[in-house]
Amino acid sequence: KENVVDLTGAIDRIKLARPIRFNYIADERNQAQDGFLAHEIGEIVPEMLFGLGKDAVNSRGEIEEQSINPQGLVPLLTAALKEAIAKIEALETRVAALEAG
């Protein structure tokens, strides 16, 4: 690997994500599941996105669905959690100092 840098601003990016609950139209079981709309999450984490584009059509006129690789979200979630932990620890330190003083 090269050009290795820490992931920053993760909380702000995660706040842009819109988790949804949905049913696939073609799913005969009509089973609800949790996820994201590919074109929306692709704006936040483009490396997760596969496919040509929202509502893209192939040469036969069939919709080429976009999909996502949810594993691509793990580093962003981990970075956001670490940022949140750092904020919590800073607040705990401030509260302890206020309570002691």
DSSP 8-state assignment for residue 52? S
pTM of structure? 0.79
What is the rounded CA–CA span in Å between residue 5 and residue 17?
A: 23
Which pLDDT value is given to residue 90?
98
Q: Which residue has tokens 């709309």? A: 37
What is the rounded CA–CA span in Å between residue 45 and residue 85?
A: 22
Please, which residues have CB within 8 angstroms of residue 40's CB and are 6 or more apart in sequence? Answer: 17, 18
**One pLDDT digit (tens) per residue for the chain, 101 residues:** 999 999 999 999 999 999 999 998 888 898 999 999 998 999 999 888 887 677 777 888 887 788 899 898 999 999 999 999 999 999 999 999 999 98
Strands 67-68 and 33-35: unpaired
Which pLDDT value is given to residue 33?
93
Instruction: Give the tokens for residue 46.
Output: 């483009």
Residue 6 one-letter amino acid: D
Question: What is the maximal distance between C-alpha atoms in the chain?
Answer: 73
